[in-house]
Chains A and B, each alone.
Chain A
Amino acid sequence: MAAGAVVLLIVAFLIRESVPALSTIGIGRFLHDPSWHPAGEASAGTFNLVPMLVGTLYLSLGALLLAVPAGVASAVFCQFYAPGRVAAVYRRSMELLAGVPSVVYGFWGLVTLVPLIRRLEPPGQSLLAGILILALMVLPTVALTAVAALAAVPRSYLQGAAALGLGRWATARRVALPAALPGILSGALLAAARAVGETMAVLMVCGNLVQVPSSLFDPVRALTANIALEMGYATAQHRSALFVSGLVLIVVIALLMALVERWGERADA
């Protein structure tokens, strides 16, 4: 009950704080204003959130595009290819990777990855850096849920495949993966939720310029980073506008979680 109260409190609070922005600025201006200069009065400031929305979208999609195949491959490797001990070590290191705090990922990305990318194409702090770090961060989520889903595939399926003379790869691809698909999908959705909500790492490696990126090497600013950068000094309409973006984040994540629940139920049935 207490926890329910806390959630309700947070959501109610976010809505209450967003109301001034939503009523005086209106949703349209968040999408159509010429730029993001939110300081000052509602009439003077401009409130275009599109660059941040696009930034978050690109970052999350890019990270998933890398992390989902790599994560599923890792899981197949663990369940079908690796010798027992190697698989155990691999799973342990996935858990370790999941336990690294995001500020450490951000720091490592900033001092190691960003200079490497800078050598390729300045300025280094870029969409690409954010995608790579995010992919690394959500990889364990995908891999560990996929391992669990593959482990739950009934033995009889695998025995049937063996009886048909299928090789390892054919067994994994044609039998085990389709059977584990719901679990793998919910893992990917969870990873998406994590990528959308991630703040520190993205804040540290992406450069944070308010712009719709035109290439992988352009700096971007995510919604979360925008809140982190500006809430320290935001007042009035500006603060309210930040609350609107917080609300957007919660809604997106709630939708992803609802989808996970949908898939989870279907997997049980």
Chain B
Amino acid sequence: MPEVRRGPDRLAALALWGIALGVMGTLGWILVDLLRFGLGGVSWSFLTEAPRDAGRAGGIGPILVSTVWILAVSLVVAVPLGVGCAAYLAEWAPTGAPLGRAVRRSLDLLAAVPSIVFGLFGMVFFSQILGLGFSILAGGLTLACMVLPILIRATEAGFRSAPQELRRGAAALGLSRGAALRHLLLPAAVPGLVVGLVLGIGRALAETAALIFTSGYVTRMPSSLLDSGRALSVHIYDLAMNVPGGEGNAYATALVLIVLLMAINGTASWAAEAWLGKGWTR
């Protein structure tokens, strides 16, 4: 039996505590910076006013509105597609079926495609070929492609969490599979859908690269879906890179974005744990 050496043990403990503290410290550093330089800029008028002087002064009112519209478009498109696809994967495709496997694999790939490639695709396909130009519609459609995998994964988990008795009962009553799906399983899958929805909103809200060249840069209040509208994240990018002296408002906008995201992600993990059980992970 080897003798127990305490030296390396203590050294390792020290090193691990050090690394952990370093990581926590860096996270703290970022958050404290955001609070310290951003909190002063956030006020009711900041949230409602239009930006002035290329964003150095004024607020983010129209940008918030554009962001909401972009999100709305992407969800309106992605939800029906996502629910349909999830229903197919969970209820029709047997786990080993080639088509189900192919769809699942392409979903995994889609989830890993870098956002800038979505941006490139969206710019050429939606903006140029379909002629939507730089518009909220083009940006929303591009984001819809991006959030599909998240939405489908969560909704599928929702379908799978529906008790087997529902399916047997429906079959015993002579209901067709479609009817069973619509009346029994879909309601049962709603929690999964909600989780996916919230996670999808989180991903869409954080997205920048896919939006710069699809929904564009314009800071005016959008008057239709075909107008260009600047999202929050694009605003931060523009202020940081292209507007000297824009840091103050960039900090404030970043703070608003982070608070929104924390609220959304918090809701998502709470809902996932409450409704889908512990075993469900992204």
Contacts and interface: CB of A to CB of B under 8 A. Distances in A.
A269 interface: no
B112 A103 contact: no
A221 B269 CA distance: 36
B85 interface: yes
Given A2-B84, A77-B20, A90-B20, A169 B116 contact: no
Given A2-B84, A101-B233, A253-B114, A74 B120 contact: no
A254 interface: yes
Contact of A101 (B16, B118, B247, B261): B261
B110 A7 contact: yes
Interface stretch (A36-44, A46-54, A224-232): A224-232
Given A193-B112, A231-B123, A200 B258 contact: no
B85 A1 contact: yes
A146 interface: no
A104 B116 CA distance: 16
Contact of B112 (A99, A164, A257): A257
B236 A107 contact: yes
B197 to A, nearest CB: 16
Nearest to A226: B116
A8 interface: yes
A111 B121 contact: no
Interface of B: 1, 4-6, 8-9, 12-13, 15-17, 19-20, 22-24, 26-27, 29-30, 33-34, 81-82, 84-85, 88, 99, 102-103, 106-110, 112-121, 123-125, 145, 148-149, 152, 202, 205-209, 212-213, 233-234, 236-237, 240-241, 247, 250, 254, 257-258, 261-262, 265, 269, 281
A124 interface: no
A97 B99 CA distance: 36
B208 A101 contact: yes
Contact of A228 (B1, B99, B108, B209): B209
Contacts of B108: 257
Contacts of B34: 104, 108
B212 A228 contact: yes
Interface string A231-269: 110000001001100100110011011000000000000
B223 to A, nearest CB: 24
A244 B82 CA distance: 29
Nearest to A246: B117
Contacts of B207: 101
Interface stretch (A10-18, A152-160, A180-188): A10-18
Interface of A: 1-4, 6-8, 10, 13-14, 17, 70, 73-74, 76-77, 81-82, 90, 93, 95-97, 99-104, 106-108, 110-112, 136, 139, 148, 164-170, 172-173, 193, 196-200, 203-204, 224, 227-228, 231-232, 239, 242-243, 246, 249-250, 253-254, 256-257
A158 B49 CA distance: 59
Contact of B206 (A10, A101, A111): A101
B123 to A, nearest CB: 6
A224 B209 contact: yes
Question: Does more than half of chain B's interface fall in helix, strand or loop, or is it mixed?
Answer: helix
A149 to B, nearest CB: 13
Nearest to B24: A93
Nearest to B110: A7
A227 to B, nearest CB: 5
Given A14-B121, A107-B236, A4 B103 contact: yes
Given A10-B121, A243-B120, A77 B236 contact: no
A13 B129 CA distance: 11
Contact of A3 (B6, B27, B81, B99): B81
Question: Does more than half of chain A's interface fall in helix, strand or loop, or is it mixed?
Answer: helix
Contacts of B118: 10
A4 B93 CA distance: 14
A173 B208 CA distance: 40
B23 A200 contact: no
B262 A99 contact: yes
A197 B103 contact: no
Nearest to B108: A257
Contacts of A170: 8-9
Given A6-B145, A104-B257, A169-B12, A253 B112 contact: yes
A69 B264 CA distance: 30
Given A7-B110, A74-B20, A204-B240, A99 B202 contact: yes
A120 to B, nearest CB: 18
B87 to A, nearest CB: 11
B15 A73 contact: yes
B233 A103 contact: yes
